[in-house]
A = this chain, B = another copy of it.
Amino acid sequence: MQDKISCREVERFLRYRQFLLDARDAGKENVFSHELAAAADISPEQVRRDIMLLHVNGRPQKGYPIKEFLDDIELKLIPRKVNVAMVGVGNLGRAVLAYFTKRRPNISIVAAFDSDPEKIDRVISGCKCYHIDSLAQVAKEQNIVLGIIAVPASYAQKTADLLVTAGVKGIVNFAPANITVGEGVYLEKIDITTAIEKTAYFANTL
C-alpha cells in the first residue's frame, strides 16, 4: 500500500464509490471488476490494479463484496465531516445547492453567500443565505473548510481571496475565470466552456 494517491486514482475511486452506492441501494452484494470498468469507462485490469491499493479482496465468480469495498474507500479517502460555503446564489449556485443537498452525509453546504439584499436571510434548498461581508464570521462559527465559487467571472478572484482569508482549505471554482490561490489551498476548476469546446472538437474528429 503506497502512501500517496494520485489525483487520477482519487477520481476513479470516487467514481467506483458512486457506482457501488447505487449497486448497494439496488440490493446487490457483490460486483465484478468488469462492471466497475464499464461504469467508469476504463479497463477491468485498471480496476483490479486500483483495488490493490485497498484491503478488500474479491473471489472468482463472485466478484468483490460491495460493503467491504465501500468501507475501505471511505476509510481511505472520505473525510469525516466537511462543511462547505456556497458563494453566489444565481442560477448556478442554486442548481448546485439543489442537487448536492443531502447527497452525501459527510459533506454539507451549510451556508450560502451573496451580495444581493433580496437574497439575504432567505433559505434556499435548506441552506441559509448570508451577506458576503459576513463570510469570515460565519465561516468561523460554522467551521467551514471548503468554498464553492459561483459568482460572475469578474468577482471570482475577489471571492477566492475572501474564502482563503476566511480559512478554507479547498475551493471549487465554477466561474469562467482563471483564479489563483496561495499554497496550502487546493483549487479545483470546473471549466464549462472548455468542456463544451473539447466536446465540439472530439465530436468533430471522432
Contacts and interface: CB of A to CB of B under 8 A. Distances in A.
Interface of A: 7, 10-11, 14-15, 18-19, 39, 77-79, 82, 84, 90-92, 94-96, 98-100, 103-104, 106-107, 145-146, 148, 153, 168-172, 176, 178, 184-186, 188, 190-204, 206
Contacts of A91: 91-92, 94-95, 98
Contact of A203 (B100, B106, B146, B201): B146
B95 A148 contact: no
Q: Which of A172, A184, A191, A201 has most B Cβ within 10 Å? A: A201
Contact of A146 (B100, B107, B145, B196): B196
B82 A200 contact: yes
Contact of A201 (B77, B92, B191): B77
Q: Mostly helix, strand, loop or mixed at chain A's interface?
A: helix
Given A99-B192, A103-B176, A107-B197, 10 more contacts: A10-B198, A14-B198, A78-B200, A91-B92, A92-B96, A95-B95, A146-B199, A169-B204, A188-B196, A190-B192
A172 B193 CA distance: 11
B104 A170 contact: no
A133 B192 CA distance: 26
A197 B104 contact: yes
A25 to B, nearest CB: 13
17 contacts: A10-B201, A11-B198, A14-B197, A77-B201, A78-B197, A78-B201, A99-B153, A99-B176, A99-B192, A103-B176, A104-B197, A168-B203, A170-B199, A172-B196, A184-B206, A190-B192, A190-B195
Most chain B C-beta atoms within 10 Å of own C-beta, residue among A92, A185, A203 = A203
Contact of A170 (B14, B18, B202): B202
